Amino acid sequence: MPRILIPTPLRPYTDKQDAVDVAGATVGELLADLTRKHSGLKTHLYNDQGKLRSFVNVYVNDEDIRYLQKEQTPVKSEDTVSIIPSVAGGVETAAPAPPAPPRGSALTNDEYKRYSRHLIMPEVGLDGQLKLKAAKVLCIGAGGLGSPVAMYLAAAGVGTLGIVDFDTVDFSNLQRQILHGTPDVGRPKLASAKDRLNALNPNVNIETYETALTSENALKLFEPYDVIVDGTDNFPTRYLVNDACVLLGKPNAYGSIFRFEGQASVFAMKEGPCYRCLYPEPPPPGLVPSCAEGGVLGVLPGLVGVIQATEAIKLILGTGEPLIGRFLIVDALRMKFRELRLRKDPACPVCGTHPTVTKLIDYEQFCGIRPAAPEPVAVNAATEITSTELKQRLDRGDKLIVVDVREPHEYQINRIPGSLLIPLGDVPKRYNELDPDLEIVTQCKSGVRSAKAADFLRSVGFKKVLNLKGGILDWVDKVDPSQPKY
C-alpha cells in the first residue's frame, strides 16, 4: 500500500503521524483517501473549488506532479509521495560570475593567518579568498537564520556584509539567535549583531540598515550586493525578496524553518527557478503557523543557515554545484536530508517567458494581509471576548467552558484554570465532547489557532462560541502575571 509523507505543519491533522498508508492508483486517489481518513487536511490541501492549492506541492519520488500527469499521475506501492507546503534538481546552469578582486587588493599578514585553512584548499586558495574579500552579501534579518549566516560569512572573510533588520533582542530570541546574548536583551538587533561580528572579524565591513524591507526600498538596498540571503520569517517579505532578486538578477540563497524541518535552495538565477515557480501563491493568512506559534528547535536555524552561507560562498567562489533547481529538505528529528528537483516555470509571472510582474508590488495585499480596497469592516466584536471580560464572567460563575486548543506541551507552561485541552488538530474529532447548550470560549497562545477552532465549531452548529482575544499571552498580561510567558 502506498504511503504519503506528511510534513511537520500538517501532522496535527493526521494524529501526529509523519506518514499515512493510503489506497489508490493515482496521486488524486491517494490524496482523496488521505483526506477521507483525516478530514482536517482537506482545507489545507484543497481550495473551495476542490482544486489542489497552489501553495501545496506534491512529489512522487523526486518529481513534481505538475510536470508529470498532475493528480492523474500513477503511483506504485514502492513510490514515495511527499506533500511539500510553503513554510514560508534538474536545472543545469552556471553560477554567476564571481566578483573580481579590485586591482591592487591583497591580504594582510594577519589575514593570511586568519584564512590559512582556506588558502591551502585548491577550491579556494588565494584567488578565492580575494574574491571573498571583494564580495558583498546582504542578509535579510538578524534572527534565527541571519545569525549563523552572518557569523560564518564574516568568519569566511566576505568583505562587505549588509544586514537588514529593525527588531530588538528579546529573551525568546536567545534559544537560537546566536548573534545575541543575554546582555543584549532590549538592544536593537543590528547593534548587537555589529558588535558580535566586529569582534569575530574586524576586517569585514558591516553595513546595517535599521528599516523594514519594503517595495519602496528593496531594489535600492539590493543593488550594490552580489548575493542576497533570505532570512525572513513571513510570506510578504519572502515574496518581496524573491521578486526583487529576479528583477535585479541577484541570486537568492533561500532558507526557511519550522519546528524540526528546514528548507533551502538558490532562487532567481537566470536559468533556474524562483520561489514563485515553486509556490505561485502564498497560503491564506493564518493557515501556516509561524515559529512563534509552532515553535522551532534551537539548533535548526544553525543547520539551515549554515547551508545558506555555504551556498553564498560557493556562488562567490564560482565553484561546486549550487542548489539551483534543487530543493533541500532537512529533517533534524531524524537527521535526514532529502533533495527534490525544481524546474523553471515558463508561465511564472516574475521569471517566466512573459512576466507580468515587472515591478515590486504591495506584498501584504498579495499575501492577503491587507485588502485591495479599504473595507470598513472591523473585527466582529461579538465573536471575541477579552481576558478581563472572561475573568469577570468566570468569577460570576457563568456557565461557559474554556477550550484550550494548544498542544499538551504548551498547556504545561501556563493555562487558564479549569480550561479543557483539545488540540486544534483534534477538534474535528472531539467536538462532540462539548455541550452545545453551554457558551464556549476558545483559546490558544495568541488567538490565531483558537479563531480557527471557533470557526469550525460554528460551522458544525455551535451557536455560542467566543474566541479569547490575544490568547493566553493576554490573559497573563491582564489577569494572572504570576504565570510564565513563552
Pairwise CA distance, residues 158 & 311, whole Å: 13
Taking the CA atoms of the chain, what radius of gyration do you get in angstroms?
Answer: 24
Residue that has been written with the C-alpha cell 537588514 in this structure = 164
Residue type, 372: A
- Cite the residue boundaries of each domain of the chain with CATH code 3.10.20.30: 3-85
Q: Name the DSSP class of 134.
A: H
How wide is the angle at C-alpha 352 spanned by C-alphas 348 and 356, nearest 5°?
75
pLDDT of residue 284: 75
Q: Which of 61, 54, 14 is nearest to 33 (CA)?
A: 14
CATH architecture for residues 135-366: 3-Layer(aba) Sandwich (3.40)
Q: Which of 295, 164, 293, 316 is nearest to 241 (CA)?
A: 164
Q: Which of 139, 245, 277, 444 is labelled catalytic?
A: 444
**pLDDT of the chain, 486 residues: tens digit per residue:** 889 999 888 888 898 898 999 999 999 999 999 999 998 889 889 988 888 988 889 999 988 999 899 999 999 988 989 998 886 544 444 555 655 655 446 899 999 999 999 999 999 999 999 999 999 999 999 999 999 999 999 999 999 999 999 999 999 999 999 999 999 999 999 999 999 999 999 999 999 999 999 999 999 999 999 999 999 988 999 999 999 999 999 999 999 998 999 999 999 998 899 999 999 988 877 666 666 677 889 999 999 999 999 999 999 999 999 999 999 999 999 999 999 999 999 999 999 999 999 999 999 888 887 554 443 333 445 699 999 999 999 999 999 999 999 999 999 999 999 999 999 999 999 999 999 999 999 999 999 999 999 999 999 999 999 999 999 999 999 999 999 998
141 in helix, strand or coil?
coil
Pairwise CA distance, residues 338 & 105, whole Å: 41
pLDDT of residue 193: 98
pLDDT of residue 217: 97
Q: What H or E segment, with its residue span, contains residue 402?
A: strand 400-404
Written as nine digits, the cell of 144 is: 534565527
pLDDT of residue 330: 95
Give me the DSSP letters along 292-307: HHH-B-TTHHHHHHHH
Pairwise CA distance, residues 301 & 145, whole Å: 5
- Cite the residue boundaries of each domain of the chain with CATH code 3.40.50.720: 135-366
pLDDT of residue 48: 84
245: annotated active-site residue = no
Give me the DSSP letters along 42-60: HHHHB-TTSPBPTTEEEEE
Task: Return the axis-axis angle of helices 146-156 and 300-317, rounded to nearest 10°.
Answer: 40
The CATH number of 381-478 is 3.40.250.10
274: annotated active-site residue = no
Q: Which of 303, 322, 233, 309 is nearest to 261 (CA)?
A: 303
Give me the DSSP letters along 333-390: TTTEEEEEE----TT-TTTSSS-S--S---HHHHTTSS-SS-------GGGEE-HHHH
Pairwise CA distance, residues 330 & 349, whole Å: 28
pLDDT of residue 96: 56
Chain-centre distance for alpha carbon 65: 23
Q: Which of 223, 195, 227 is nearest to 208 (CA)?
A: 195
Question: Are the beta carbons of 307 and 255 closer than 8 angstroms?
Answer: yes
Residue that has been written with the C-alpha cell 512563534 in this structure = 292
pLDDT of residue 287: 65
- Cite the residue boundaries of each domain of the chain with CATH code 3.40.250.10: 381-478
Query: End-to-end alpha-carbon separation of the chain, Å?
Result: 42
Written as nine digits, the cell of 417 is: 484554570
Task: Return the axis-axis angle of helices 471-478 and 387-396, rounded to nearest 10°.
Answer: 70
Model pTM? Answer: 0.76
Written as nine digits, the cell of 379 is: 473585527
CA distances from 430 to 417, 422, 425, 426 (A): 21, 8, 10, 6
Question: Are the beta carbons of 450 and 405 closer than 8 angstroms?
Answer: yes
Q: What b/e string do you get for 157-176 counting C-beta neighbours within 10 Å, with b at 16 or more?
A: bbbbbbbbbeebbeeebeeb
pLDDT of residue 93: 45
- β-pairing, 384-385 vs 336-341, is unpaired
pLDDT of residue 375: 39
pLDDT of residue 321: 94
Q: Which of 245, 274, 291, 367 is labelled catalytic?
A: 291
Pairwise CA distance, residues 473 & 180, whole Å: 24
9 in helix, strand or coil?
helix
Instruction: Quote the CATH superfamily of domain 3-85.
Output: Beta-grasp domain (3.10.20.30)
Pairwise CA distance, residues 44 & 36, whole Å: 13
Residue that has been written with the C-alpha cell 589575514 in this structure = 111
pLDDT of residue 339: 94
Residue type, 379: V
